[in-house]
Structure 1
Amino acid sequence: MKRRINKVAVIGSGIMGSGIACHFANIGVEVLLLDIVPRELNEKEKKKGLTLEDKEVRNRVVNESLQSSLKSKPSPIYHKDFANRIKTGNLEDDISKVSEVDWIIEVVVEKLDIKKKVFDDLEKHRKEGTLITSNTSGIPIKYMSEGRSEDFQKHFCGTHFFNPPRYLRLFEIIPGPKTSEETLDFLHMYGEKFLGKNSVVAKDTPAFIGNRIGIFSIMSLFHTVKDMDMTIEEVDKLTGPVIGRQKSATFRTVDVVGLDTLVHVANGLYENVPDDEQHELFKLPDFIETMMEKEWLGSKSGQGFYKKIKKEDGSSEIKSLDLETMEYRDRKSAKFDTLEQTKTIDKVEDRFEVLINGKDKAGDFYRKNFSALFAYVSNRIPEISDELYKIDDGMKAGFGWEHGPFQIWDAIGVKKGIEMMKAEGYEPAAWVNEMLESGNESFYTVKEGNTYYYSIPDKKQAKIPGQDAFIILDNIRESKEVFKNSGVVVEDLGDGILNVEFRSKMNSIGGDVLDGINKAIDIAEKDYQGLVVANDGKNFSVGANIGMIFMMAVEQEYDELNMAIKYFQDTMMRMRYSSIPTVAAPHNMALGGGCELSLHADKVVAHAETYIGLVEFGVGVIPGGGGSKEMTVRASETFEKDDVELNRLREHFLTIGMAKVSTSAYEAFDTNILQKGKDVIVVNKDRQLAIAKKHALLMAENGYTKPIQRSNIKVLGKQALGAFYVGTDQMNAGNYISDHDKKIANKLAYVMAGGDLSEASYVSEQYLLDLEREAFLSLTGERKTLERLQHMLKKGKPLRN
């Protein structure tokens, strides 16, 4: 049977339930979201004269929960219109509607008796063959399926999403005693292909994989902070980006998630894993007990490990909790010599060896921390998983770690890791020593573009399944390299398609990157069929190298700066007008120049989590790499007979002038940065490059013809210029924009109007590029632009002056 998911029912509309409902809506699925009926009226309902029988009252819980979720930031939904895919109801009036759905997901309170009662009600209406799963984070699946029908048990398992469901990629699938292989295989595929998740089949053990290791890691740190007399700032400094973790690191992350959530899972583990060799570690330290008593739960209660307070002058500051006195104090800076040694090491995996060899408190911390972690994960096999890569996948996708525990251990060296562990009083599981004795010296190897892991039962390296749908640049970079310079690596993806991978700092676009793009196009036009621009960096590109622009502007090297801008423009035009198809594959931040490159590709295959926009106003200039020109062209393409053309142009003008950045790829359609009917959105980041390659190949095989440069672009001249100037005057007079903002906006207006032409005219792209470049150059001569550039370089955020 070919199973399709057209409609799902989510039972329970709390933070997780609403988040899961929103993510299914994100991917185009119709959702029925149900929750309980209130037992009494609130004050608002009483004033309106409503009764308990009114639908507004009966659906109050679900509607309020969903609306609260939709208003939260970051948003659970890709586009506000997608919320229309969610229909709400209650568990009394609407439960029969679950007979119409393809998948029922239970997300009610974590109490077994309540879940069983919900399943009793659902089974009365569920049609045979319908998938039914629980989002439990810890209740054994076997207990929930007891006493259910054969068909129910066959199609029942745990499907544990991590919060927030849109953003965290781990999707744990936990089979029950009678879950069918067909059910597991389908959910694994669906999670990867449709939900964009990293699907991991876990064993039915307490907290499964992600939370078992993640909570151990956090509880270990809670004890370490006391044992080593450390501050929370020191721990957060050591457990953040330097080791490939979130900027919020440990204590700030707990504040965001909620201390009560962490404590709930930790207490569950303390009760349910009595034979765990680290059982006592799950016992709450005194300072956690005190915080729970005082209800210092983090962001939700206004204070946790950190507390934001308002000062008399109206400004705010962050205070930190002193774990000795349990009082809030001024934040202390945390500096370590060991961390200083890693500042020149860009790749996180190359830092671990330096960190564990540190001679200061940081070195002691890392040796103690990693030793405990390595021993713990090695002893969890085969308890929570038979395959070590699943543990790494769980920590990367569920907790945002850049590298899983076994990958970190590999980076240090397995033998060296064991020596470190023994010095700290830990022993690895026996299978690790057996692995070394069998001649395998690492947990992972790469062969012919595929990643292999050490299979413990087979005592040899085995290929990680499911890689056929992926192209992993780390695995092919060396063997498939065609060209390389300091800014890019060009790889052969096979089938006649090349890839340009940015390798500059933050994937910024400077001369070396532009050289690499041009070289790749040269090679592709001569010997290949198409070109993709994609990378596996944290962000696709944060834009042009503004440090280079700032230095040239300060030195008043305007001829060189003019040439640099023209080179950028010419390279973007080559992306558009080469004889081979070009595809851009942006993800996360694609700002400024990264956006301009996408605008000039033949097609964009964007990851759903793409935050794309032309943000040059923030550094005091207009888009100078063809972005201003291209938005003018796109506005002109939308002009229709009897249309108010100026309104269309104004929308595109405001996209740049307000530095609009989409909060998802879908929102980029609203600004015409992505184009409906042409550009494509991919939900699974791992599949993005392979899909981009397919589109490049499809265009080539369908007979791609080099486009003809446009010379009939309609510009509105003085009609538009006058209207824009009036608008910027009013905004400035109302103190909505500064004098310098007005100057930048007027420069942009001049470009997008096509200059002060007396009437609407038709111009070429090169005409607009020349206007754009002239405007950009003139702005770099402004003191306030230099201030903005310098502030961005120093502070990493825009200055409004």
Structure 2
Amino acid sequence: MSKRRIKKVAIIGSGIMGSGIACHFANIGVDVLLLDIVPKELNDKEKAKGLTLKDKVVRNRLVNDALTASLKSKPSPIYHQKFASRITTGNLDDDISKVAHVDWIMEVVVERLDIKKSVFEKLEEHRTPGTLITSNTSGIPIKFMSEGRSDDFQKHFCGTHFFNPARYLKLFEIIPGPKTDASVINFLNNYGEKFLGKTAVVAKDTPAFIGNRIGIFSIMSLFHTVKDMNLTIEDVDKLTGPVIGRPKSATFRTVDVVGLDTLVHVANGIEENCKKDEHLELFKLPGFINTMMENKWLGSKTDQGFYKKQVSTDGKKEILSLDLNTLEYRSAKKGKYATLELTKSVDKVVDRFKILISGKDKAGEFYRKSFTSLFAYVTNRIPEITDELYKIDDAMKAGFGWEHGPFQIWDAIGVEKGIELMKAEGLEPAPWVNEMLASGSSSFYTIKNGATYAYDIPKKSQEKIPGQDAFIILDNIRKSKEVFKNSGVVIEDLGDGILNCEFQSKMNTIGGDVLAGLNKAVDLAEKDFEGLVIGNQGSNFSVGANIGMIFMMAVEQEYDELNGAIKYFQDTMMRMRYSSIPTISAPHGMSLGGACELSMHADKVVAAAETYIGLVEFGVGVIPGGAGSKEMALRASDTFRKGDVELNTLQEYFLTIGMAKVATSAYEAFDMGILQKGKDIVVTNKDRQIATAKAHAKLMAEAGYTKPVKRKDVKVLGKQALGMFLVGTDAMEASNYISEHDHKIANKLAYVMAGGDLSEPTLVSEQYLLDLEREAFLSLCTERKTLERIQHMLKTGKPLRN
């Protein structure tokens, strides 16, 4: 059988979901044909222009308007705006024949079986046999959609359910139909994970599949609990947010974002089609939901739902909450719970669950009720919705942004303890859980030889979860492969002569211990190994340098110590660059300030596509002081070309720092000069990142890596550049574009990037620029307004403009 490749896809339906999926295929380099229906009538603009329904611009209006709106939305559905050129738009009347030339057709039209069936009928007339054809339905049974279609159609047809927004949510549910060929499922499983960067989960053809069945149960269960326990919606959002490893939007704010009507649609579908569900009553809508639906309080799309923004007469913004008893909006009430206070010093979410379920207050009662009902529910969904328990956890983590799935939370509490709590709430797990304990398995998961095993119900034993071999999971190897550890890092042996240095500080900030760990990692790698990866699997790579430490030294006026600390940071970055082994940085998520500087000094960056990277030091009143300002001057110098206006090139690099620009994807970081074309690479699936980084380190070592020669040829422009920068910053302050303190910081940066006030362009060493950078950083740390900025950032997490 020839190897299936996806070069072009057709997306049928350009609504929020269809456009989002089209953008994500464009993100990974696939050509997209996006089709929608022809408008039934002209709009006012078209009438004014004298257009008719025969004009192409009118016929493609719906699809073009939808795609334009999608590309303007925030957060953006596309990694880089230029990738939108990979999408061609058209309409189902004029352009449907073009589906004959695509490799995969995906239907994303309205959730109505009759409409979907008529679309498939039309598509089959033009589809080339053997072409993949799938539906992004979130709940209509797959078996009904392919009825009456040809054998070839049914063999290549299944459900492929993306979660919205398609770029950011990782769940990709694959739902086979009655006649779907096994090779199609295997292909989509691999393609979803490797190319689309998703967690691919094969689900059974049951209502709402896996993610929504469990997710909607969890939300509906909370709708009833909030009333039974007389809690406020703010209470529930506080209890079901980051404290238990869920998104900040928690429960009610998430419903506002998704849309109450969407939730109700899925809940109704489950209630109508899952008559044997033991918790069927929970899917019946509580009275307050019916009222909200009647009032069109659907959330963000109608500007009010469970929350509502209000601007008072004095211009003050306030977010009001819905009181579920009176159904009136009121100011938010903040509840305090002793149980939550006990978890404040516990950094790892997984270690909090035992504390939370032991709480003596209302919060403890809430967790016991909500977790036990969830545990009981998921045990009864096997084998109904899936045969494997790990698929339920995968779906909840990838589709709903939970850090831990239900079975992982239960393992953290202890399986026997979970059953004891269930019984206290009048609940029982499915019989297979007690059979599992009787068989000698005391947990749902175990780690063996760096791999995760999960309990297999029919086999009554722990079986290795398939598909792990492409990944390196640091949680699984940390204990057995640890080479060195301090309070800031763990250094692990990844095998094949490659080490990994993993940050373990709060928010992965870079302080003294992390720098000591980085130096130790380079020492060890140079002595006994072949290469070094700097990577972790936290929610963010690193939010940058430990500004709390800088603040304390500056306030105490310990300037010699502060100078030493800055020099230590700079020297560590230079050590990364000039070591005798290849160094690979693997940034993902927030990779700010010092973390960006670190990546810029590695031999190669293997960035996750979702990397938000930039030099943001201006926000705390300083310039990049960990060799970042030096590095931007050096990179500008390397891009000077004969005949260029060198000042313009330097200015671009200057503005990247001066405006604290942050790339909203790894691809944007290439434009900013933070990632380098031809050297650095991007991986779509973050789970593959460490394995890919290791492979590159090994390749570089095997190719005969040689230590780079220290640079003494950085061209700086001196007075010529400094004069231009100073005129520019003066003008910006005069027009109130920047504050007086911004002006001062910008001038310090200008001095460093110009190489000082040299009388003519000169070649200088990196050390020369590092000394200028450190002097400027240190002098800014003596400024009261800089200290105010750092203090404000430490207190609020937000920048201060003073």
TM-score, structure 2 as length reference: 1.00
Q: CA deviation at 1:312?
A: 1.2
Residue 610 (structure 1) aligns with: 611
Residue 251 (structure 1) aligns with: 252
Residue 170 (structure 1) aligns with: 171
Residue 233 (structure 1) aligns with: 234
Q: How do 1:454-469 and structure 2 match up within 5 A?
A: 454-469=455-470
Q: How do 1:128-277 and structure 2 match up within 5 A?
A: 128-277=129-278
Residue 573 (structure 1) aligns with: 574
Residue 500 (structure 2) aligns with: 499
Residue 633 (structure 2) aligns with: 632
Q: Residue 308 of structure 1 aligns to which amino acid in structure 2?
A: K
Q: Is 1:113 aligned with 2:114?
A: yes
Q: Residue 41 of structure 2 aligns to which amino acid in structure 1?
A: E
Q: Distance in 2 between matches of 1:213 and 1:795?
A: 35
Q: Distance in 2 between matches of 1:703 and 1:670?
A: 30
Q: CA deviation at 1:130?
A: 0.2
Query: How big is each residue's C-alpha offset from its partner over 1:127-158, in whole Å with a ceiling of 9 and x where there is no partner?
Result: 01000000000000000011110100000000
Residue 693 (structure 2) aligns with: 692
Q: CA deviation at 1:335?
A: 1.1
Q: Residue 466 of structure 2 aligns to which amino acid in structure 1?
A: P
Residue 474 (structure 1) aligns with: 475
Q: Distance in 2 between matches of 1:635 and 1:357?
A: 58
Residue 414 (structure 1) aligns with: 415
DSSP 3-state at the match of 1:469: coil
Q: CA deviation at 1:380?
A: 0.2
Q: Distance in 2 between matches of 1:693 and 1:45?
A: 57
Residue 765 (structure 1) aligns with: 766
DSSP 3-state at the match of 1:124: helix
Q: Residue 93 of structure 2 aligns to which amino acid in structure 1?
A: E
DSSP 3-state at the match of 1:468: coil
Q: Distance in 2 between matches of 1:492 and 1:747?
A: 42
Residue 585 (structure 1) aligns with: 586
What is the root-mean-square deviation in Å for CA atoms of aligned residues? 0.4
DSSP 3-state at the match of 2:483: strand
DSSP 3-state at the match of 2:9: strand
Query: How big is each residue's C-alpha offset from its partner over 1:35-81, in whole Å with a ceiling of 9 and x where there is no partner?
Result: 00001000010001100000000000000000111111000000000
Q: CA deviation at 1:513?
A: 0.2
Q: CA deviation at 1:87?
A: 0.3
DSSP 3-state at the match of 1:173: strand
Residue 81 (structure 1) aligns with: 82
Q: Distance in 1 between matches of 2:72 and 2:266?
A: 27
Query: How big is each residue's C-alpha offset from its partner over 1:424-458, in whole Å with a ceiling of 9 and x where there is no partner?
Result: 01000000000000010000000000000000000
Q: Residue 486 of structure 1 aligns to which amino acid in structure 2?
A: S
Query: How big is each residue's C-alpha offset from its partner over 1:159-203, in whole Å with a ceiling of 9 and x where there is no partner?
Result: 000000000000000000000011000000000000000000000
Residue 301 (structure 2) aligns with: 300
DSSP 3-state at the match of 2:403: coil
Q: Distance in 2 between matches of 1:576 and 1:389?
A: 41
Residue 721 (structure 1) aligns with: 722
Q: Distance in 1 between matches of 2:273 and 2:81?
A: 42
Q: Distance in 2 between matches of 1:734 and 1:320?
A: 40
Q: How do 1:501-580 and structure 2 match up within 5 A?
A: 501-580=502-581
DSSP 3-state at the match of 1:151: helix
Q: Is 1:334 aligned with 2:370?
A: no
TM-score, structure 1 as length reference: 1.00
DSSP 3-state at the match of 2:606: strand
Q: Is 1:393 aligned with 2:418?
A: no
Q: Which runs of 5+ in 2 are unaligned?
A: none
Q: Residue 498 of structure 2 aligns to which amino acid in structure 1?
A: I
Q: Distance in 2 between matches of 1:315 and 1:232?
A: 23
Q: CA deviation at 1:662?
A: 0.3
Q: CA deviation at 1:315?
A: 2.6
Q: Which runs of 5+ in 1 are unaligned?
A: none
Q: Residue 645 of structure 2 aligns to which amino acid in structure 1?
A: V
Q: CA deviation at 1:538?
A: 1.0
Q: Distance in 2 between matches of 1:70 and 1:270?
A: 36
Among the aligned pairs, what percent are the same residue?
79
Q: How do 1:289-368 and structure 2 match up within 5 A?
A: 289-368=290-369
Q: Distance in 1 between matches of 2:227 and 2:583?
A: 55
Q: CA deviation at 1:721?
A: 0.2
DSSP 3-state at the match of 2:440: coil
Query: How big is each residue's C-alpha offset from its partner over 1:707-760, in whole Å with a ceiling of 9 and x where there is no partner?
Result: 001000000000000000000001000000000000000000000000000000
Q: Residue 644 of structure 2 aligns to which amino acid in structure 1?
A: D
Q: CA deviation at 1:323?
A: 0.3
Q: Residue 431 of structure 1 aligns to which amino acid in structure 2?
A: W
Q: Residue 621 of structure 2 aligns to which amino acid in structure 1?
A: G
Q: CA deviation at 1:471?
A: 0.2
Q: Distance in 1 between matches of 2:208 and 2:410?
A: 23
Query: How big is each residue's C-alpha offset from its partner over 1:772-800, in whole Å with a ceiling of 9 and x where there is no partner?
Result: 00000000000000000000000111000
Q: Distance in 1 between matches of 2:86 and 2:310?
A: 40
Q: Distance in 2 between matches of 1:774 and 1:315?
A: 42
Query: How big is each residue's C-alpha offset from its partner over 1:290-311, in whole Å with a ceiling of 9 and x where there is no partner?
Result: 0000000001100000000111
Q: CA deviation at 1:316?
A: 1.1
Q: Distance in 1 between matches of 2:597 and 2:573?
A: 7
Q: Residue 681 of structure 1 aligns to which amino acid in structure 2?
A: V
DSSP 3-state at the match of 2:469: helix
Q: How do 1:50-129 and structure 2 match up within 5 A?
A: 50-129=51-130
Residue 661 (structure 2) aligns with: 660
Q: Distance in 2 between matches of 1:275 and 1:383?
A: 11
Q: Distance in 1 between matches of 2:638 and 2:50?
A: 54
Q: Distance in 1 between matches of 2:208 and 2:540?
A: 32
Q: CA deviation at 1:224?
A: 0.3
